Amino acid sequence: MITVVIADRLGKGQNVAKGVESAGGKAIVVPGMGADMRLGDVMQLENADLGISFCGSGGAGALTAATKYGYKERHGMRSIDEGVTAINDGKTVLGFGFMDQEELGKRIVEAYIKKNG
């Protein structure tokens, strides 16, 4: 099962988690304000396959996870299609602007399964 950590600057992410789970993944939503800055730490703790970070710029949590743990990241994304492309390019940490949408979680997991089996 694919484990996805979802970390939102404002403590959200529950809709993305629903999408992850509907596609057969396990979603872990990091609680609390500033959760995006703890994305990499929780990914390490949970041995996660993917991480999704949300903040105004779409980059802080993803860049922090990449810098601290060496994850391949793409940040500043504003659409689901950009996220799917990032998965297809081998990225495991995705940084978005605020987009707590069920479809995002679902399509990211589907793309990961299609790419990695």
Question: What pLDDT digit, counting tens, does each position of 18-51 carry?
Answer: 999 999 999 999 999 999 999 999 999 999 999 9
pLDDT of the residue at 102: 98
Q: What is the pLDDT of residue 59?
A: 84
Q: What is the pLDDT of residue 53?
A: 96
pTM for the structure as a whole: 0.96
CA distances for 28 relative to 21, 31, 48, 56, 63, angstroms:
10, 9, 9, 21, 19
Number of domains in the chain: 1
What CATH number is associated with residue 51? 3.40.1400.10
- Buried b vs exposed e over 72-90: b needs ≥16 C-beta within 10 Å? ebbbebeebeebbebbeee
Q: Is residue 117 pLDDT above 90, yes or no?
A: no
Per-residue confidence (pLDDT) for residue 57, from 0 to 100: 84
Domain ranges, residue 26:
3-116
